[in-house]
Amino acid sequence: MSLSQGRNLFVTPGPSVIPDRVLNAMHRAAPNIYEGDLVDMTDRILDNLRKVARTSGDPTIYISNGHGVWEAALHNVLQAGDKVLCLSTGTFGSGWADVATAMGIEVELLDFGSSKSFNADRVADALRADQGKFKAILATHTDTSTSITNDIAALRKAIDDTGHHALLMVDCIASLGCEQFEMDAWGVDVMVAACQKGLMVPPGIAFTFHNTKAAQVSENTIRTSPYWNWTLRTNPDVFYMRFNGTPPTHHIFGLDEALKMLVDEEGLDNVWARHTKQAQAIWAAIDIWAEAGAIRCNIQNIADRSSAVTTVVSDTIDLSPLHEWCKDTAGLTLGVGIGFGEYEPNQIFRIGHMGHMNPVMLLGALSTIEAGLNALQIPHGRGAIEAAGRVLAS
């Protein structure tokens, strides 16, 4: 028997839960795309995007998903035959490297495995050995497959220590609007993000951000795609050029509302603190379940754990029945496993705790998972939910 009437909860790490306010903002008739609300709103959105990314650089909005802006960012500053260093801590890190390779860019991949963040010494060694050929360094802030978060400020320092002049390009698709990120203070030249994770908007628009150093590089780059070219989009003569065609009207209304919630109302520091606290509650529960040896957090070191998504692995158990029990009996959809290292997808589940979440949803998800562990007789330590509650109350 399924008990699952009422509103289901999806804790997939993107698309994340969409606030009713965002949905309601999108629920309206087609607007004028030449003047009025939409045009004014877009300027406000660009300002708020700068605030979320902590940059005075230029945001560009594409009708695209994350894969699209991976390509857009590369296309603007690199050409076939150029060489880049790509740092990988999971499937998304190597995914961006694959896109670069497919575009004819020569990629040197530094793979840090799937359980620890970047090692800055290894990056520095690779840069010293390179003799200035790398034009860019591609890094992932939070890799959503493994739930590893990388220290981008430490990476910048390692780059500066070697005196290397490569552009630093960072994928913040999972982390923007969830985890602290300081584009300017951390010396990031290009950043990519999408709307459907921390920014709480249905998938469909994605972003690049670039500073003046990246803008200079792009001026000297032969760009063959008019669609990905960010120059006209950042300095449009007429509004439609910002989107190289019809704007994504309803996504703009939704994004404006979401950014108001994050920037104007809650405040970015509070948004980050909320994610940290909620993540700590989730880890407290999982670390107790882990005492029985069947499941555990993929990342041992707390500093390497993302506060937007948590990957849980099992060395011994097929977790597909747990996915099914949670979904079919209880109405909770867990994030699917993306295989890495020695783990097959059915040895993994992920909890997305990004965006529009509160303790009701988090404790509901954790209690439901625990009920599933009980139903399926998967060994787990006792007192996990209480521990999560204690963290939230502290």
Ligand X SMILES: *Cc1c(COP(=O)(O)O)cnc(C)c1O
Residues engaged in binding ligand X (CB under 6 A): 14, 65-67, 92, 140, 143-144, 171, 173-174, 194, 203
Residue 281's contacts (CB-CB under 8 Å, 6 or more residues apart) are 359, 362, 363, 366, 388, 389, 391, 392
Helix (H) or strand (E) holding 191: strand 190-194
Give the number of other CB atoms < 10 A from CB of residue 165.
10
Residue closer to ligand X, measured from CB, 92 or 349:
92
In the numeric block, the tokens 């029990």 are attached to 325
Residue closer to ligand X, measured from CB, 71 or 189:
71
Contact 168, 189 (CB under 8 A): yes
Structure tokens at 388: 């999560």
Considering only CA atoms, which of 52, 59, 61, 53 is closest in space to residue 263?
A: 52
Residue closer to ligand X, measured from CB, 98 or 291:
98
Residue closer to ligand X, measured from CB, 271 or 363:
271
Considering only CA atoms, which of 316, 318, 320, 319 is closest in space to residue 293?
A: 316
Cβ-closest position to ligand X: 66
Give the number of other CB atoms < 10 A from CB of residue 189.
23
User: What is the nearest approach in angstroms of ligand X to the Cβ of residue 94?
Assistant: 11
Residue by residue, DSSP assigns 36-55 as SHHHHHHHHHHHHHHHHHT-
List, in sequence order, every residue forming a beta bridge with 106; answer none if it has no partner: 83
Contact 310, 349 (CB under 8 A): no
User: What is the nearest approach in angstroms of ligand X to the Cβ of residue 150?
Assistant: 11
Considering only CA atoms, which of 175, 182, 217, 192 is closest in space to residue 73?
A: 192
User: What is the nearest approach in angstroms of ligand X to the Cβ of residue 114?
Assistant: 14
Residues 364, 280: Cα–Cα separation, whole Å: 16
Helix (H) or strand (E) holding 106: strand 106-111
Residue closer to ligand X, measured from CB, 169 or 384:
169
Residue closer to ligand X, measured from CB, 289 or 349:
349
Considering only CA atoms, which of 285, 369, 362 is closest in space to residue 324?
A: 369
User: What is the nearest approach in angstroms of ligand X to the Cβ of residue 213?
Assistant: 23
Considering only CA atoms, which of 193, 218, 213 is closest in space to residue 140?
A: 193
User: What is the nearest approach in angstroms of ligand X to the Cβ of residue 338?
Assistant: 10
Please report, as a single letter, which amino acid is at residue 393.
A
User: What is the nearest approach in angstroms of ligand X to the Cβ of residue 87?
Assistant: 13
Residue closer to ligand X, measured from CB, 162 or 333:
333
User: What is the nearest approach in angstroms of ligand X to the Cβ of residue 385?
Assistant: 28
User: What is the nearest approach in angstroms of ligand X to the Cβ of residue 336?
Assistant: 12
List, in sequence order, every residue forming a beta bridge with 297; answer none if it has no partner: 312
Residue closer to ligand X, measured from CB, 78 or 173:
173
Residue closer to ligand X, measured from CB, 72 or 127:
72
User: What is the nearest approach in angstroms of ligand X to the Cβ of residue 383?
Assistant: 32
In the numeric block, the tokens 């709480």 are attached to 200
User: What is the nearest approach in angstroms of ligand X to the Cβ of residue 255?
Assistant: 15
CA 150: distance to chain centroid?
Answer: 12
Residues 190, 207: Cα–Cα separation, whole Å: 10
Residue closer to ligand X, measured from CB, 50 or 141:
141
